[in-house]
Amino acid sequence: MQDDEGFAGEGKPGLNDPSEPLPVQALRARMRVLHYAISTEDTYAGWIARLVRHLDDENLEKYSEDAIGEFLTELALLREVDAGTQNQALCAILFYYQKVLGRDMQFINRLRARESTHLPLVMSIAEVKLLLPEFLGRYEVMARLMYGSGMRHKETRTLRIKDLHFDTGHIVVRNGKGQKDRITVLPKTIVEPLRAIVDEAKKIHKQDLQDGYGRVYLPFALSRKYPNADRETPWQYLFPSRQRSRDPRSGAIRRHHIHEGTFANAMRRALALTNIDKPATPHTLRHSFATHMLENGADIRTVQELLGHKDVKTTMIYTHVMNRPGLVVQSPLDRF
């Protein structure tokens, strides 16, 4: 139930698992107060737990930066993790020491690995046309929405009914990467399927209310600012989970949005039904959106805004994988 101070876990430490190491519990509590996503919380908690096992000690405060640096070096040399994984571990450790213990870690911050620049995997328009019909039910709508709007997988899963604007043809993406809002295009060809998805979500919510539930998670302090909003239809997820579950932070029984692995599994099944020999993931649909927009003549600044990139240099990487039919370059093999 909700008390006068809102649900635990929304700007509060929430529930902790007493079986976890004390540093992990402290990390989770701090991240919840600062409104970090639960996926980030779980990732950081995993790295702090590994650091505890590496040192065989829960009292992390007493260790020098050299000792912690050895852990990162072991990851790179013995575990052979890539630069991105090593930097993820570094971010988790920096967060714990700086935000939980209040300790400056300038030396260890210099251990950040240099990441390689990889070109994104992009499907051709023909491949996208082959793939999309192989999805079933609402997963096809999700796939078309991700490719047609450029939204990330998580942004699509967490989309709420109120953020679809059918009359103006746009979608408001809330709390995207960097906790920023933006507007992107709502594809006209999926308006009717999306209306059907909205109707289904409303039916599910109505049944939840009749069963004595129907409260949805609201970010930050909105549950206190708008006490009844979590029961209102506009705030419900567009793609709700098939069943209700217990919130790991607050302990409240809610219907959350569709699970991260559900659509990923649907995409693997769809790919298996085609002859597309590419290790595509849900994020590939976003990459393909950006590339095809640029190929069709869209301004790169417009694409930057639709994708929510902070720096246009991030968007420019798609110019390297564009299909340029007018490019006057001939392979030496073709001269034989």
Catalytic residues: 152, 177, 283, 286, 309, 318
Kindly tell me the burial class for residue 62, based on how many C-beta atoms sit within 10 Å of its own C-beta (0-12, 13-18, 19 or more).
exposed
Q: Rounded to an integer, what distance in angstroms lies between the CA atom of residue 310 and that of residue 312?
A: 7
H and E: helices and strands count for the chain: 14, 5
**Residue labelled with tokens 């989770």:** 28
How do the residues of the chain divide into helix, strand and coil, expressed in percent and rounded to 5? 55, 5, 40
C-alpha span between 30 and 11 (Å, rounded): 9
CA atoms within 13 A on the CB side of 178: 8
Task: Give the burial class of 6: count Cβ atoms within 10 A of its Cβ; 0-12 exposed, 13-18 middle, 19 or more buried.
Answer: buried
